[in-house]
Structure 1
């Protein structure tokens, strides 16, 4: 019997790979960014070309109170290789006068992501040198592995680490201070930035550390220039590592907050690769389309541990189900922390779509402990000891959607039983009214939300006292979520034999539906109102929020009415990677996204394309037309996007005008989650459709490639 060939995955045959056509171009190399994470909120990230363009870039950005207090400890490396009488650089930096020196990207022959792990291959004369970067899961430890693939003689490698100690939101000067450096062994240096700072270590697997501290001044971070922020800072060189690398040899540098760490690089490398393979096995996607595999690995970057926040509420006494730490979801890299809304929207794709129901249960249970006044937290601040904010009208309702999806996927009645009192409390608070004028209007049973100066929906940009899209009144997606919340609670209660209570919630949901259809539709508009009963009356601005009236588990629109909304949203808002936040026909539309914080935030929901909305649109399209392949076709361009901006992942937003340049966060949880969730769901539906029509089932990759 012939031996079975191992499954080929994006780890073995990368979906993201480039040759000199991209690697040799500074513009293309700066546009593309890589990211590795550790499950605690720490990360390492930079550009393909090696130039740090953001304050957030660095090789060790450690979450000192997971997942927050993220602090840049190692900004980068200056890498030189001497071979056959020539000196080559592997690194690149930009200075305040625009000079880029050195220019290591010129020697970059190839770049690839093995799963989510970046690999560079440099051509140095007739020699090939490979560099890999990853983080150990569960510790703030970054590894950089150099491997000589071929050389006619030994290489001499010299690496100068550039360290600092600053919050990742801003840059800092070297004036007036100098980190302490302790050469604790021939191959190790420990950095003590100042009294009370977390120490961190730099370790080499071979060679020697040569002390010699000095400041390197005036690095430029061009993305901060574009954002209207301080764009230059300084880094400290505590010394350099030097070693000889024979042909076929390897050398590793370890950067870690565990100052007792030993450089066991082989074991660490095997562990990180095995963990990626295990994620694919757990999700059952080893033979799935490469996009599904890539997004399954990308999803893992957002699920992190959280130190508990002390609070009180109906769920505050819910104990953890296991001894595992509480888990949460980082909304986006680089700068977002964990947000209630983003977590609940992303939960279905990041956990259930990736075969991780235990993580889903952990997150649902953890967040239940923070419910107060019937509301889930909007966000957890990016620092310790601060109470979460509760200014959200939708996070709590998305929580109910997430629990419903979990229950259907797992049949876990125990968790629903445990959380049912929290759900009842949530609905009771919404009926009688809670913070920020969130409450049911007794005249029509629709949910009202909002007060001046407070942003409550996902369109939440605020600059100073200016709420850019206040949407005070009865927003369309809030009421679609409210209707679904009532239907879900009725379903849960009926399944537990409480028919009387179930009937009460069912009757209320019927009244909500009748009012919704009466208020949000108008004969002279083929689409729904965005908000009714606002300060200026009903708002029929064409925005994407109405798509949830079709896409949620209990749709408010069906048949031709659903198709009309899908068609109108598709005609004016649909792009290759998501939906515009405002119609280009609207006078307030902004087709580009750039400038200082005021310029960016006032444009944020006034035209930019939001990637997470493509999932809801594809789901609504399938609901309206019943064609899973046509809906899956809508997601196909996302494969190309995985090779741009944040490599192997999904951007937060893109410009509304073609060619839709990526903007915002390079990796956004709900963007990854929604593409993954709907790709897998529609692929299953398309498979069933093929089987029912001709009895055959082409492979997922064949169906998608055929598009």
Structure 2
């Protein structure tokens, strides 16, 4: 039926819901909209849907317009429904997954169904930069007349809420070319549902009640809703013919051209033929272009553009795969956001959490990676002024929560508010309050001071360079005196007489960054203890099992998960910096070790969100993937490690 592809699942797995339901599929349009579901098209989260789009006129959230589309194959008056929904009491209906023979998504998600003598192929594609999902059905084989019926399930709600049967829902629809348009509530756009050939729409309004989302139930949230079905489309299909369904917020003026549009979109896709190509495809999905502004979303399906995540991710997502122009587009938007923050100005830009003290230091690190991976001279020309302004702002002590102390170290207050990447909160207070001299902040600070002095030489910044050098000289010694303890690892934070002796991964940055206050022996000591106590096959633990409060399983209701979020769970993006440090210390002899570490991430591409890496993993075996299905920093850092490996191999 089909040649073997890299991401392929056979009938045995697809028809076993214990195996197929945990596996999810994600496609985005690079403008904030997405399609996400399971590989058997049974929605298990409130965030799942065929067409989920931002509606800025309503709010700052995504909205599920078209939840799903149930297909029915009709032959000789017999109906075979290919849909699948979960209802109360572990009841699945109509159990269409039993007809699935194969699923693969090398280019686009493709499902093969067999119903008696009928073989039907279903392919899905999200149109780039347009709020439109296309689904193509090809009748590969049939021995008699065949009709397809499509029943759309509508939600018209925010991803944070549910819809329930109500009298306010608008049932009105208008006929458009080869389809209909309808909108359930005021403020929402019209949803155009059209086919590429003449068909019949049968108005048969009904509510499907009590559809359940088990992933939300696991997470301790409400988990059921009612979905509105306005009726169904019926269309005849011949052997060898393709019928294309379009769901979008604008009309297709030429529905006959839908098949050509589908083919064109497929041709633009990079095949997910191996580990790296899967990650590159995943990387593309995080781009969110809004007019002239380009952002990086922190993950799917619920994250927005967070400043720290964006700067950490940019080099891996784009520079490591040679997409310099995209990097520069995002950095252009990010630069405006940086200046708006430093100048205390209001801005329309949707870059969140700019106020965290390490964000500007990560921006410097991003410029540093550009200088290394593209060109120092181009970096100086493009970003020299930005670098100068950031460092002048920080060294002058203008940041509202970052002061430069006499010893050269930077101090930030983190008791009342979570200010580091360990940002889990309960009742508004940090679960892991990290305050004072914070180890990764000061690692980044020292690196930024030295890099500024290095890059801006001959840039007419002599006074700034002098200041940075003076502070760095003091900070280097103070860093070692403050953080390095007699056991050879670094304290996590120090605030006066209070110091955190927990073994946490934040010390790894001091060994991984280009400029470090640690000598080679001290770096090796840090890497060794991280290897011994924090390294897992899925990333670095956020806390050592030997430290108090170790809680490695990210499960249960929200409160329980908040307490576990940074208390032992494993994070792949941290392993990117760990492997960079490992390569720094052990050079070419480290290559085989690094390659072995990456194998477990390759295994993950077929387990959680197909072709991507989830947000975090449990810190203990079997290291289950948890949280957001696709997480930007994880994908970015693994891509950057592959780039570093290529450099060593050449």
What TM-score results when the alignment is normalised by the length of structure 1?
0.86
Asked if the contact 1:654/1:663 (under 8 Å) is kept, the reply is yes
Q: Give the structure 1 partner of residue 375 of structure 2.
A: 411
Asked if the contact 2:313/2:636 (under 8 Å) is kept, the reply is yes
Q: Give the structure 2 partner of residue 622 of structure 1.
A: 583
1: CA distance, partners of 2:72 / 2:349: 43
Q: What's the offset of the Cα at 1:605?
A: 0.6
2: CA distance, partners of 1:386 / 1:653: 25
Aligned equivalent of 1:527, options 489, 500, 508: 489
1: CA distance, partners of 2:595 / 2:508: 17
Q: What's the offset of the Cα at 1:435?
A: 5.0
Asked if the contact 1:37/1:44 (under 8 Å) is kept, the reply is yes
Aligned equivalent of 1:515, options 478, 481, 490: 478
Say which SS state the counterpart of residue 298 (structure 1) adopts.
helix
Measured against aligned partners, the alpha-carbon deviations of 1:201-245 in whole angstroms (never above 9, x if no partner) come to 111123222222222111111111111111111111111011122
Asked if the contact 2:307/2:351 (under 8 Å) is kept, the reply is no
1: CA distance, partners of 2:48 / 2:505: 33
Q: What's the offset of the Cα at 1:647?
A: 0.5
Say which SS state the counterpart of residue 599 (structure 1) adopts.
helix
Q: Which moved more, 1:385-394 or 1:28-37?
A: 385-394
Asked if the contact 1:592/1:608 (under 8 Å) is kept, the reply is yes
Aligned equivalent of 1:422, options 386, 394, 408: 386
Q: What's the offset of the Cα at 1:574?
A: 1.0
2: CA distance, partners of 1:550 / 1:154: 68
Asked if the contact 1:447/1:482 (under 8 Å) is kept, the reply is yes
Q: Structure 1 residues 474 and 61, CA, compared in 2 at 3 Å: closer, same or farther?
A: same
Q: Give the structure 2 partner of residue 551 of structure 1.
A: 512
Asked if the contact 1:431/1:440 (under 8 Å) is kept, the reply is yes
Q: What's the offset of the Cα at 1:628?
A: 2.6
1: CA distance, partners of 2:386 / 2:349: 25
Matched, 1:339 2:306: yes
Q: Structure 1 residues 388 and 294, CA, compared in 2 at 3 Å: closer, same or farther?
A: closer
Q: How does 1:11-410 map to 2 (within 5 A)?
A: 14-65=5-56, 68-83=60-75, 86-115=78-107, 117-185=108-176, 187-206=178-197, 207-263=199-255, 264-277=257-270, 290-306=274-290, 325-371=292-338, 388-410=352-374
1: CA distance, partners of 2:315 / 2:634: 12
Q: Which moved more, 1:334-343 or 1:151-160?
A: 151-160
Say which SS state the counterpart of residue 114 (structure 1) adopts.
coil
Q: What's the offset of the Cα at 1:167?
A: 0.8
1: CA distance, partners of 2:443 / 2:376: 25
Matched, 1:485 2:448: yes
Q: Structure 1 residues 515 and 303, CA, compared in 2 at 3 Å: closer, same or farther?
A: same
Q: What's the offset of the Cα at 1:561?
A: 2.0
Q: Structure 1 residues 654 and 376, CA, compared in 2 at 3 Å: closer, same or farther?
A: farther
Measured against aligned partners, the alpha-carbon deviations of 1:589-642 in whole angstroms (never above 9, x if no partner) come to 112111222111121111111121121111111112112332232212111101
Say which SS state the counterpart of residue 275 (structure 2) adopts.
helix
Say which SS state the counterpart of residue 428 (structure 1) adopts.
helix
Measured against aligned partners, the alpha-carbon deviations of 1:299-319 in whole angstroms (never above 9, x if no partner) come to 000011136xxxxxxxxxxxx
Q: Give the structure 2 partner of residue 314 of structure 1.
A: none
Matched, 1:446 2:438: no
Q: How does 1:672-683 map to 2 (within 5 A)?
A: 672-683=635-646
Asked if the contact 2:305/2:350 (under 8 Å) is kept, the reply is no
Asked if the contact 1:305/1:328 (under 8 Å) is kept, the reply is yes
Q: Which moved more, 1:430-439 or 1:639-648?
A: 430-439
Q: Give the structure 1 partner of residue 424 of structure 2.
A: 461
Asked if the contact 2:414/2:434 (under 8 Å) is kept, the reply is no
Asked if the contact 1:376/1:390 (under 8 Å) is kept, the reply is no
Q: Structure 1 residues 242 and 667, CA, compared in 2 at 3 Å: closer, same or farther?
A: same
Q: C-alpha root-mean-square deviation of aligned residues, in Å?
A: 2.5
2: CA distance, partners of 1:527 / 1:111: 48
Gaps of 5+ in 1: 1-10, 281-285, 308-324, 689-707
Asked if the contact 1:295/1:672 (under 8 Å) is kept, the reply is yes
Say which SS state the counterpart of residue 362 (structure 1) adopts.
helix
Asked if the contact 1:158/1:240 (under 8 Å) is kept, the reply is yes
Asked if the contact 2:477/2:517 (under 8 Å) is kept, the reply is no
Measured against aligned partners, the alpha-carbon deviations of 1:114-168 in whole angstroms (never above 9, x if no partner) come to 24x2111112223321111111001000011111222222322111001121111
Asked if the contact 2:148/2:235 (under 8 Å) is kept, the reply is yes
Q: Give the structure 1 partner of residue 554 of structure 2.
A: 593
2: CA distance, partners of 1:54 / 1:376: 41
Asked if the contact 2:288/2:294 (under 8 Å) is kept, the reply is yes
Q: What's the offset of the Cα at 1:335?
A: 0.3
Asked if the contact 2:84/2:95 (under 8 Å) is kept, the reply is yes
2: CA distance, partners of 1:48 / 1:376: 47
Q: What's the offset of the Cα at 1:353?
A: 1.6
Asked if the contact 2:14/2:97 (under 8 Å) is kept, the reply is yes
1: CA distance, partners of 2:5 / 2:308: 32
What TM-score results when the alignment is normalised by the length of structure 2?
0.93
Gaps of 5+ in 2: none
Say which SS state the counterpart of residue 36 (structure 1) adopts.
strand
Q: Structure 1 residues 386 and 171, CA, compared in 2 at 3 Å: closer, same or farther?
A: same
Q: Give the structure 2 partner of residue 700 of structure 1.
A: none
Q: Give the structure 2 partner of residue 320 of structure 1.
A: none
1: CA distance, partners of 2:493 / 2:187: 51
Q: Give the structure 1 partner of residue 596 of structure 2.
A: 633
Q: Structure 1 residues 182 and 92, CA, compared in 2 at 3 Å: closer, same or farther?
A: same
Q: Structure 1 residues 676 and 154, CA, compared in 2 at 3 Å: closer, same or farther?
A: farther
Asked if the contact 1:15/1:294 (under 8 Å) is kept, the reply is no
2: CA distance, partners of 1:681 / 1:123: 45
Q: Which moved more, 1:92-101 or 1:33-42?
A: 92-101
